[in-house]
A = this chain, B = another copy of it.
Amino acid sequence: MQELIKFINQYSNLSESSVVALEQRVVFESYEKNEIVLRQGDRANKVWFIKKGLLRKFYYNNGKEITTWIHAENEMFTSMHSYFQQKPSQETIQAIEDSELISLSYEKSVELNQYPEFNSFSQELLTKQFSAIDEFSKRFSLMSASEKYNALIEIAPEIIKRAKLGYIASILGISQETLSRIRSKK
């Protein structure tokens, strides 16, 4: 729980009363490896914070799973468009290691918006996360396969260390075989 508070404080400074308000509203959840946290088509009515574990976001394209990102400890995640617009999610979120999460529902987060600290936190989180996605997709679209791989090592070493080859290749938009060859030469 301290990790979550620390995370939020990066964006906005929580008062003692707002910390209490937060603690009263969060829920602890556990998922086993391969369990689905959010299914495509369902509404993302929560945001989650990762205490422990690894979570994968993906969607289907012609029956194939396309992994878009993998989140690790001390990160927050949700299906952004689904949560902020309260519409069905395009993406599925799956635990790819046994995971322990702290969740906050949309309704409770609306309650917390009475506290201006939370208001600015969610605005900033929204902006930063989307900016990051935007920048990531623009930067990566101009790189070769191995440049993308090297850039991912820099920005997300946890993914490289813990996720399997196929998922990493999918994030980079390259084939498994190509990633395997990139790794073998060096």
Contacts and interface: CB of A to CB of B under 8 A. Distances in A.
Interface stretch (A22-30, A101-109, A130-138, A151-159): A130-138
B66 A142 contact: yes
A59 B81 CA distance: 26
Contacts of A61: 142
Contacts of A68: 138
A80 B131 contact: yes
A175 to B, nearest CB: 13
A85 interface: yes
B128 A127 contact: no
A84 B141 CA distance: 24
Interface string A113-146: 0000000000100111011011101100110000
A173 interface: yes
Interface residues of A, number: 23
A141 B141 contact: yes
Nearest to A134: B133
Contacts of A123: 123
A147 to B, nearest CB: 12
Contact of A85 (B80, B90, B128, B138): B128
Contact of A141 (B128, B133, B134, B137): B137
9 contacts: A59-B138, A80-B130, A126-B126, A126-B130, A130-B131, A134-B137, A137-B141, A141-B173, A142-B173
